[in-house]
Amino acid sequence: MKKIALAIHGGCGVMPEDSMTASDWEAARNDLAAALGAGYAVLQSGGRAVDAVEAAVVVMENSPHFNAGHGAALNENGVHELDASIMDGATLGAGAVSAALAIRNPIKAARRLMDDGRAVLLTGAAADRFAEANGLATEPQSYFTTQKRVEALEAMKAHAAAGTDGTENEKHGTVGAVALDAAGHLAAATSTGGYTNKPEGRVGDSPIIGAGTYARDGVCAVSGTGKGEFFIRHVVGHEIASRIAYLRQDLKTAAGAVVNHDLAVHEIGAGLVAIDAEGEIAAPYNTPGMFRGWVISDGKAFVATHETIYEVMV
């Protein structure tokens, strides 16, 4: 069989053990495994990388454990504004939505827009209307809200009032996937609620092609997580691709340099998953943990949140 591979992330941060119950940690790992399973099933049956990353992200958007779709972060007004994007490395086709209020699975809307081809990025009410017009499910805001995100917003507002800094956990998170399919094509997808207490209308890196999401056949595919403003300024996805294409760096060197040098100097939590044309995977992060998982050609699949890596069945 030709090489296929998939890597996913569910955000990075401090992630102290006591920030979730043992059963919640296990449930989050199970949802990572389910996301890997959904994406890998596409690749294994000879499907396209772009379909695999969409399928994996949908599972994580539906999970309450990650900051995307159901379980997304709240902005300063207690509103969910959802960002997502997808890119097909084969064609450089891309689609994205930002500040959407009602799309159940923002990554599906990004994909529809990519296939539609009339625009790369739709924002706000227009993104919601585009999703509805294309038959995608919409939800009331309450669908996206979890108790954890309500508490995180309260905590961030208290920090703001006291002039103190919140934990990375209270602040952000994102989900994403990158894949290589049997035809040698690469793709990336990313979806997020952004960071807790973000200003109304703020757009992060996740829907910005080249920053939070990037894929180019023969080079790499990248999906990032961390304070989006810095991912935008460093054009992280494209920067990693450029290091590989122009400097001839290997994937791990290129991705590590951006996370551990370029982004680290800003003292922000940052992580990403990336895959190259050979199916090599890199998942660097500069925080104590990152929800992540990967599956390679032999079908061996792994998930992790901190240092311990768990082999899972997909």
Q: What residues make contact with ligand ASP under the rule CB under 6 A?
A: 11, 172-174, 192, 194-195, 204-206, 212, 225-228
Q: Which is nearer to ligand ASP, 44 or 196 (CB)?
A: 196
Q: How far is the CB of 271 from ligand ASP (least distance, A)?
A: 8
Q: Which is nearer to ligand ASP, 236 or 277 (CB)?
A: 236
Contacts of residue 196, Cβ cutoff 8 Å, sequence gap at least 6: 73, 74, 149, 152, 153, 156, 166, 170, 171, 172
Q: How far is the CB of 220 from ligand ASP (least distance, A)?
A: 18
Q: Which of 123, 145, 174, 287 is catalytic?
A: 174
* Of 69, 59, 71, 49, the residue nearest 3 (C-alpha): 49
Q: Which is nearer to ligand ASP, 65 or 172 (CB)?
A: 172
* Of 155, 216, 209, the residue nearest 184 (C-alpha): 216
Secondary structure of 253-297 as H, E, C letters: HHHHHHHHHHHHHHCCCEEEEEEECCCCEECCECCCEEEEEEECC
Q: Which is nearer to ligand ASP, 87 or 314 (CB)?
A: 87
Known catalytic residue at 213: no
Q: How far is the CB of 172 from ligand ASP (least distance, A)?
A: 3
Q: How far is the CB of 228 from ligand ASP (least distance, A)?
A: 2
Estimate to the nearest angstrom the gap between the alpha carbon of 174 and the chain centroid.
5
Q: How is residue 271 written in tokens?
A: 């992580």
The residues that are catalytic are 174
